[in-house]
Structure 1
Amino acid sequence: MIVLDPRTGELVGRTPVTSAPRCDEAVASARAAAPGWARTPAAERGAALHAAAAAVRAAADELAQLNARETGKPLDDARGGVEAGVGTLVQYAELGPVHRGRSLHGAWDATDLMVPEPRGVVAVLTPWNDPVAVAAGLIGAALATGNSVVHKPSERCPQTGRRFAEIVAEHLPRGVLEIVDGDGAVGALLAEAPVDVVAHVGSTATGRSIAATCARTGARALLENGGNDPLIVDDGVDPEWAAAQAALGAFANAGQICVAVERIYVHASVADPFLAALTREAQEWAERIGPLVDREHRRHVDGHVAGALEGGARALTGGAIPDGPGAFYPPTVLIGCVPDMAVMSEETFGPVAPVQVVPDFPEALREACDDTYGLAATVLTADMAHAQTAWRELPVGTVKINNVFGGAPGGASQPRRASGSGFGFGPELLDEMTAVKVVHLAPPPTPH
């Protein structure tokens, strides 16, 4: 695999693709290590994760620089992703030893328990847009609960993903964390392999393929897939503030965030000042935005924009591939968008803010709900009745009111519909990585 710097087009590095026999060996090695790791006291597993977290923190600059070179993520953002990953490892190092089952009230002379046990071998397939933070969550939760792991990082940032996993693996017994490299074909091999869980963060198409494979093999599928997250701008909000929120949601990390704002519904009463402010925001973001991950992805983003323009939308700013090296794409604001355009109905995953003007809040909510995805949504409103209605009715895993990003630590949601299934964060992820066994322990009959 060849990775080019998305800022300059220069070669970053080459990574060999793991062969099918080596994939089999990695799974077999993880399978052999699983029983010993499962029997390791939870406190010792937690101590190993603490040590791994400290080592990752010490390597933060190295990992951030690798990430910035491979994906174009601004260096400060890349460093923030590493710090988030460290925090997640520490979180699961602490939560793992206190993850508990339940006792049941049965017969007086018996003991009845519900005991969580590790599932076995977890295949972890992680994305390129936040490679350390996402991998730390899935790998950390799997290890904390006594599973062994085979990790395949994204082919778009193989060095970042591999180096992170190598640092963690240095603090574990041999075979507990194996690493393979490659594209979707290698991921498919892992999904087909004799593993017990396939945890995947990435596209909906890949997630559906994994779900079908797991339905056949019996492995558990844990999926966070694509999103088409709406943003509603209600009547009565400050249009400047709303535009700043919309720009942050649509343009941060060049729109390459799982819960980025993908489509905007603005009340007609505030549409003109909102659009003017959003255009200014986009032009300011153009001075500091990073590139898209590669030119292939840029073609996808530009295809969505071109289709909207051909369908009657208009670009207030941006909307075309710039001259020069790399994979840059300008922050783009589109008006005159309608539901059947790809920028409104599919995940663009780029710095594009498509806007549809609506006559009232009920219409905005109907449009926001009318979608095949179900990851997240944001509502900007001064009307608490509207806020209450929105969070109740939006068919998504996460609803954010008056803040496009944020929320308390430890929150975990379940994506809906095409966006996946299962908890991907928080204490609940420990439940996903374990299976509950019911134990009824009764005494033998008394001899007569």
Structure 2
Amino acid sequence: MTRLGTGIGWRPEIADVVERMPGIDWVEAVSENLCPGHLPDSLLRLRERGVTVVPHGVSLGLGGAERPDAGRLAALAERAQVLGSPLVTEHIAFVRAGGPLTASPLLEAGHLLPVPRTRDALDVLCENVRIAQDALPVPLAVENIAALISWPDEEMTEGQFLYELADRTGVRLLIDVANLHTNHVNRGEDPAEALAALPLEAIAYVHVAGGFERDGVWHDSHAHPVPQPVLDILADLASRVAPPGVLLERDEDFPEGEELEDEVRAIRAAVEKGRASATALAGSGTATPRAARDGSGTGSGAGAAVRQRLGLAQTALLSALVAGTPVPEGFDRVRLGVQARALAGKRADVVAKVAPELPVILGPEYRRAFLAYADGCPMTGGYRRDALDFVEHLMRNGRPQDLDVRLELREWWQERSGPVPRSERPGARLARATRRVLLRR
């Protein structure tokens, strides 16, 4: 197993800080944000210095009812090869539902959603993981996710579910201790019990991140300092096994470099505390017990009927979250409402990043207008498609009322909606000049 050491999530906003940070052995970059032919100079410099770069995927949807998309797998494989990565990582989650399997419109969550811990879902996940493993040139590790909601009638704990997944597929595990804390607050699940049930030899590395609590719900924001309970879970994990790598994740509201360095030091200290505890236990002859796993570890393949059952259940849940359809039986309506608002807010935030001109054009009205659009218009493609659909929705409904703003939005949409940018089409310069003359009159 590759020994990674101490790392930090590489993001363009903190690229310079990461390059200067002492003691960073490796970084992790979101795979979908990388173009193999045009890698950021910062990542290239880190690679030249011998810093390992691991691509971290977010869009495969290995926990979904459909088989993994071959194009997405090929893209993840290409990034691993270009970066010379020792492994790649993804999530135990579904990110879309619907489509031909359920004879319903395809819906995109734009977020990682939990899979039910049932035998059906496990069979599908195991088969999807095997498909991914066969398509990738390096080992795959999969991450446990944070969740605001729980599926009814689950058949296994998280630890049992992850144990069987690793046992049946040989996949490695990326354990996010912040997500264990999130599930402790939101779903009442004991992190220590989850850790005790894990196949510790399968751990590839560990994520650590911050969040915040509001009205009894923990939000895994990746935009706040790492709290002490998360560091305590990290120390507990380190007392059971020496993690091959530990990485700080931060995606929003980036602090100054010194504060990030302090967080990395706190993470190292928690690991050292856990390892010291393990040494003391070994000296006393006391071992940390692992909970017995539930199941034979063999399992069956995922037939068409199993995939369809899972697909229908996931579509019903996602439709309730993003399209306002009735809440499926057994789910907590209040928690689903919290999750639905979080999904809409994330859509607004990400669209503002991929299309930064829109908040500028619309000003303070951007967020209100986007949330109103999101309330009745589920996302059916990626975030760039969502930005185009949002503007088209505004134009179709004669919004906003300011004519100059509408004209600016129309020009923005026309520039990006075709296969070739409007500014590069024949006659584009003449058209813009004519429009400027007309607006002066």
* Bigger strand share: 1
Q: Which has the higher contact order (CA 8 A, sep 6+)?
A: 1
TM-score when scaled to structure 2?
Answer: 0.25
* Bigger helix share: 2
